[in-house]
Amino acid sequence: MKPIQSKEEYQTYVETKSPNSPIIKDCFNAFWVGGCICAIGQIIFEICKIRGIDETNSYTIVSMLLIFLSAFLTGLNIFNKIGKFAGAGSLIPITGFANSIVSPAMEYKSEGYVMGVGAKMFTVAGPVLVYGISSSIIVGLIYIIFHTQSITLI
């Protein structure tokens, strides 16, 4: 193989070696798998309402069960297969977040519970938490500054 001389030759080389992705099929799979996950959450919510649980507690139960199910399926290596098939459709925020915490914890469990599981558990989710919490504090401070008439200190 001759060395690549220019950007155009490199672009041609990349295009010949890269497989074409079936975008329509990928979008369809993401759509229906994400919809199924949302439907499961709605079914859990409706069951809670039928059982007489109030709305706030029902939302909490739905969140807890979706987190548990995605973490459990990640542990069984099923969620990763769903993710490979559905792409972004399986990464609905709560299930994708649970997967992003459990996957590194499982990967580094051979290094021990403290330095492996404990230290590596938030390698993917850690930045999400840091930026999410930081931005919520900033937005909260901006809200307090611009939407309070007067602050009285006691």
Domain boundaries, the chain: 22-146
Evaluate whether 127 touches 97 at the Cβ level (below 8 Å).
no
Confidence of residue 146 (pLDDT cuts 50, 70, 90): confident
Helices (H), the chain: 7-17, 23-50, 55-75, 79-86, 93-107, 119-120, 125-146
Exposed/middle/buried for residue 69 (C-beta within 10 Å: 0-12, 13-18, 19+): middle
Mean pLDDT value across residues 100-116: 73
**pTM for the model:** 0.66
Token output for 114: 């403290």
For residue range 13-50, list pLDDT tens digits in order.
877 888 777 889 988 999 999 999 999 999 999 999 99
For residue range 93-106, list pLDDT tens digits in order.
788 888 887 877 77
How many residues are there in the chain?
154
Q: Any long-range contacts for 120-127 (C-beta under 8 Å, 24+ apart)?
A: 124/100, 125/97, 125/100, 125/101
